[in-house]
Structures are given as C-alpha cells and as structure tokens.
Structure 1
Amino acid sequence: MHLPGILILVLGQLLLGCATIEVPVCESCDNQLEPANARDDEDLLHFRMLQVSAGLVPKEHASGRNRVEMRQHVTSRHSALQWLVQQAETKFLPFAAAVLLPHALAFLAAHFIMSRRSGQAVEVLHEKKEAPKSLSYIIERAGPMWLIHMLGIFSFATGAPSVEYLYLNYFARQSHPDIDCATQMAAAPCAESVMKCLKLQIIRGFALPLVQFIVGPALGALSDAFGRKPAILVIRSCLLISTTGTIAVAWFSVPIWIDFCLGFFTMIPWGAVPFAWYMDRMDHAPSIVYAVSLIEGSCIVCAAMGTALGTVLSSKMAILVEFLGRVVTLCIAVFFLPESLPAEKRMPFCWSSLMPTAAFQVLFQSPLVEKLSAISIINSFHWAGYYTMFGRFLQSSMAWTRLNSYQGGLAEHISQLDHVPLYPLWCPFCSA
C-alpha cells in the first residue's frame, strides 16, 4: 500500500477512536457508519469523507450502488449485443446468402470467363464512326413498338406487386376470413402463407426455363418465316390471357388456381421477337444503340410512374389498370404495328426449325459469343433463384406489406435512371 494511503488510514482510526463511534454493518441500508454525536452537517460530511478515504466502509457496501449500476450497464450491453447477434442470424445471414453471395459468385465466374484466353484471335471490326440520326427518325421507325413497351411496363408495374398478396390472402383467409395480408403481414396467418406461396413460386421457377426452352426457338423460327407481327400478336395475347385470370381472382373471387394455371402463359419469351423488330426497323446501325437506350430508359421512367400510381390505388384497381394496359397494347399491335421483316428477307419454313436445339450452334459461332452465352446462363441461374427467395424473405422476416413492395420498387426504378441516355434528348434535331 502507498504511504499516503497508510497515513489516511491511521488518521481515520485516530478520529474514530476519539469519537468512540460504533460502526454498524447493514447490507440492506445505504447509510452506514452514522456518527452519533455529529454537531452539524459540515462535521457529518467531513466524517463520511474520512471514512471513504480510509477504506473503512466495506467495498460491497460503499460501492453497492455503483456495482448495481455497473451490473445493469453490463446487462444492457449484453442484451444489446445479444439482440445484434440475433438480428444478424435472422436477417443479415439470410440476406447475405440470398443476395450478396449469389451476386458475388456470378461476378467472379463472369470475370474468370472473360479473362480466359481462348487461343483464338477475336476479329475486331473497325467501322467508320457515324453519329446517330435524330430523335424524330427513331420515333418514326420505332414509335408503335416503343409505345407498346412503355404502356406494357407502366401497367405491369402498377399491378404486379398486388398480385403476390392475392395469393397470401387466399391461404391466410382459409383460417382467418377477415385478414388482409396487404397490410397485416406481421400476423401469424400471413407469415405462414408465405411458405405456401413459395412452393407455388418454386413450381413456376422450374417451369419457366422449360417453357422458354421449348417455345422460344420455335417462336423465333416462326417469326423468321412468317414475319415479326404475327409472333408479337401471339406474345401480347398470351400476356392478356394471364392478366384475365388475375383480374378474375381480384374482382370476382374465383379460385386462385385459375390465375396460377393461366400464369404459365406469361412464361412465353416476350423480349426476343420485339428486339428483332427494332433491329429490322432501324436500318441505320449507329442509331440502334441510342434507340435501344432511349427505349429502355423511357420504360424505366414508365415503370417508376406505374409503381407510384400503385401506391395510391387499391389492389383491385391496380390489377384493373394492368388488365386495361394489356388490352390497349394488344389493340395497338393489331391496328398500328407495321411488319418489320420484308417478304424477301424471310427464311423458308421447315418443321425441323421448331426443335429447341436447332439454333444452338448460334451460341458457339465465336469465342466471344461463347463467353457472353456462358455469362448469360450464369446470370439467369442466380437471378432466378434470387428473385424466387428474396421477395418471400422480405415478407416473412420483415413483415413486408403491399405498400412496402411498391415503395421498394419505386426506389429501385429511381436508382436505374442514371443510365438514361442524354444525347438524343439535348440534341433532338441532330442527324448524320
């Protein structure tokens, strides 16, 4: 013990002896060692300071309050740490496994494929650089299909988030008829319905590549032989059939299985033939990139507008808007969409071209195409699994309501607006 401490202890003992004070020890009280003959408050305060300084008060009594406070502080810190660990186990780890890990693996695989040297020189075409034509030219050539895509994306974004909650309500209301999962996702019946909806979504997930593998090449072969417009009409009709089942469930309370069965019509590949239509119509190669970029950017804007509209509409009205959008786009395709593939450029039709494997050789025509095909396959593989699980994860783990779905979709669309091309917008009358 240090010398000042010893001196303080001796001085305290002398003072205690002179005062002849009895020091009681009581575990239940905080005011130990009260002086019997303290004249005033100043002497009492001085006496207590000497007691504490000399170490006469037992630590378990003198620091009782401090120990209790420290114990409470440690307990609160332990509870906070335990809560953080629990949140990490229930939310971050599934999020990392469902979102971060698949994207990271896909990126590493794509980087490895593109960095591999195939041993074959890739021919690079050095074409003469030309400026794209004016915005009026792009609208004239691509206008009808452009309008179809904007209206289709707008109506789809308005109604699609509401469809998920039709299925959740269908299963939840079997035991609780008055529940609405669109606003009560934290309720137990809605949380239990998530797994049932996930099973249906997994069935669709397995059926989607099968349908596209069978229908996609055949649809492309038919469009090469008979023109793009008939194939586009088939695509728009299939989308309308599927939405008809959805609106029947929402407005007329038909069984949800009607929509589930008709939903397989939406699995038809709807992007390849319209893209070929754009390629046919844009006979000026430098304008194709800007045209496709403009179309994609405008569709993102329309998706954001449709999602914003869905936040203020009820589920039934949002699905009605999607149905009307499908009807309008089909009418535009029937009455206003021109044929893009001239008769002299069409391929002779043969039944063998309907085989799913007939066009596989296109994917291996060059080393660069092989790499791009591999990257597309990897992207489709992990993206399909991500979208299958991520939405259900939000609904079950975070009580993701219908409004949350629209708000999340709106934020996603807004974040995509940074790549909208500006050249045709600030120079609408420039031409080559």
Structure 2
Amino acid sequence: MRAGTRPSSDATASGDTVPGAVHGWLQYPIMALYCCLLYKQVAAGVAMLVLCSAMCVVSAGGRRMAASIVTTPAASLAIAYTALATVSAFMVSWPGGIERTVQFALTTLAAITTAGYLHALGPSAFDRFRIRFAVLNLAILMHVVAFHLLTGHVVTWKYLYDTKFVFSSMVVVVFLFEDRIRNRGIAAWFTALSLLALLVLMSGERKAYVLLLLIFLMSRASLASKVMTLGVAAALTMTFVSAMPQSYVARQLRSEAADSSQLSNRFFFTVESIGQHSDYIRTFVNRNAQLLFEAHPVLGTGSTGYMHWARKKYGSLTGSRGLSMNVHGERYRVPAENGIVGILTVLAYLTATAGAAVRFAWRRGGLEAGAHARFPLYMLGLLCTYIYGEAMDTTMLLLILLTGFIAAVPRPAAVRAGART
C-alpha cells in the first residue's frame, strides 16, 4: 500500500484495499437497493439509486470507471441497449421521455458505481461481500417461504412483490460457492444442489428452472458428472409426473410444452380474466407486438410504445380483463418498441458480452476454471433467463448494465488473483 493511502473498512491484514472514493460502506446502499427492487419499495429504491449515482459523479474512482466503460464493447453496448429501452420513450410522449431518461441516467450511474465497487475489492474483501450478499439472499428466501406457507401456499411462492427473483439469484449464489462447498466433499455439494433444485421446483419460478439447468451445465462439474446428474434428474422427473400427473410440479413442467399459438384471436376475447392465464396472455400480447413491428420495422414505436398502444386500443388493464397487459420478454418487446435497430443492438450486446465472459473464464483455466472465473458467465445466464420472459423494469435495466460491465471492464482483484478459490 502506498504511503498516505487509507484502507477502507474492508481492508484486511492481507493487504486488501478499496482504492479511490469507493468506500467499504457502499456495499450497504447496494444491498439496500437490491431489497427495494425485490419488495417494490419505490421511494427508498429511488433514494438508493440517487445515492449510488452521486458516488459515481463525485468520486474520482467512479469517474475513472465511467471512462473505462465507454471504451469497452460489451459495456458500451449495454449502455446503448438500456438507452434504447428508456430514452426512446420520447417517440411516445415528451413527459414519458423525460421520466425514462432520468431512469436511464440513475440506473447507469448506479451500475457504474456498483461495478466499480466490485472491481476494486481485493480477494478477502470480495469474499466477505459475497458472503454478506449470500446471507441477505438466504434471509429473503426464508421470508418468502414463510410468508407463503403462512398464507396457505404450500407451493407457488410468487405472490410477494418481486421476491420471486431471489430463487434465480440464489442459483447464482450457490454456484459461486461451488469451490468452497466442494472442499467439504462431493456429498456436501450434491446435497446443496439437491436442496436448491427442490426449492426452485416448489417455488414455481420457471425462469429459475431454466437458470439452474443452464448454470449447472456451465459449472465446474465434469462432463460425465453432468450427464449422469441430468440423466438421474430426467428419470426422477418422468417418474414423478407419471405417478402424480395432477400435482403442481407436474402441471408446471407440462405447461412449458403447452402450445397456444394455434388459437384464434377470437378465443382470447372469450377468456374471463385472461391476464391470469399466462400462456394465453403471452400469445395474445406477442401477436400484437409482432403486428407493431411489421408496422414500424426500423425504429419501432419507442419505449413504452406497446403499453401506450394497448391501453388506447383495449382500455385499462383491469377494464380489459388483462388484454392490455404489457409485453413480457425482450424477444417481443425489442422488435415492437425499438425495431431492427434495437434487434441489432441487443444481438451485438449479447455477442460481445458472451465473448468477453467466455474469454475471461478460458484464460483462467478453461474447463478447470474456478467459480469466480465463471461469474461473468453466470451473470449472463441470469440475464438471459430474466429478459426472456419479464417486462422491462429497473431490475432488468440494472441487470443488463451490470452484466455488460462485469464482463467487459477490468476484473475484480479477487478474480484476477487466480482461477480457483
């Protein structure tokens, strides 16, 4: 450590420091913002966004991080992607454009601050932050399960604001601890993996189903272990579905294969409270989004354009029985609201981010790389499962930005230190 450099609150005897003005206390507003997003505490969430954004503007470290971000493809494309998803609201209305531009500025600056904090942490400090974030997720998970059990929901734990996201984030958290758990023995790792799979299945969060499979395939497990585990899981699943075809889990798994694409448009108008039928409403909304893309192929309708069009055509969400629900899934929203320009931007972003994440893991051990080196890949998996079926919101904007920043800008000292923990 240079003379005159003060260690942060996360500095340790091993020499870890957080350089610049990115202080150890910054982890707390970052984690508070995460809680606000999951529990939909708008006022507190905006306050945390402003605080994190201010740190980016006033600190030398934040400004240096911002300067490094604009020169990297994945990070700059993340900014372009989120700008199209927000600032283009000016095409719909000026008040909406101003509101979305403020949202874009705050989320971008807050993401830069968060990425700067993570990249400045040394190995021990990064490990402590990882543990604290894991404890926070575990506490939220316990609250979600307790809340639903006490309200009569033995399964389907998705009725407490947006806390269902914790089932996806816990998948990433558990696999980030893969090295540490494996050190306790292979039985400990497969026990943890089995408990995680059970919770995910009971939650009914289908994005977490897919994410668990995806990250397991990207994990340190050997090819033989992956084949054997997937084979056993598939056999158990088929046996369970055959033995209990009307159970909740069986119905959830079958719904993934359900096809409502051949239904006529007239059918959707006859369904009572169609917004409560996820398969039907997705098909109906996606058809409308396709029509808007065909009418506005180059630039789309602008951010919030589909919602504005749907409310105008069908009325309020409650008055239309759900027909005016917003687009869920970027594969339909982007063409409708940002056109071909948006499609090309998102494809470029995903390509650049995936390339950076793969190169980073490969240079730090390839197939033998540790969990830390696979973190950008895990973030990309979390992002892809989230944008596949969710509507655009602040959580998605931050996830897009952080995934690009983590994959592209100079790596955290904890990850630079080596391939394995």
Q: Please indicate the TM-score interval, normalised by the length of the shorter structure.
A: under 0.3
Q: Name the TM-score, length of structure 2 as normaliser.
A: 0.24
The structure with more radius of gyration:
1
Question: More relative contact order in 1 or in 2 (CA 8 Å, sep 6+)?
Answer: 1
Normalised by the size of structure 1, how large is the TM-score? 0.24
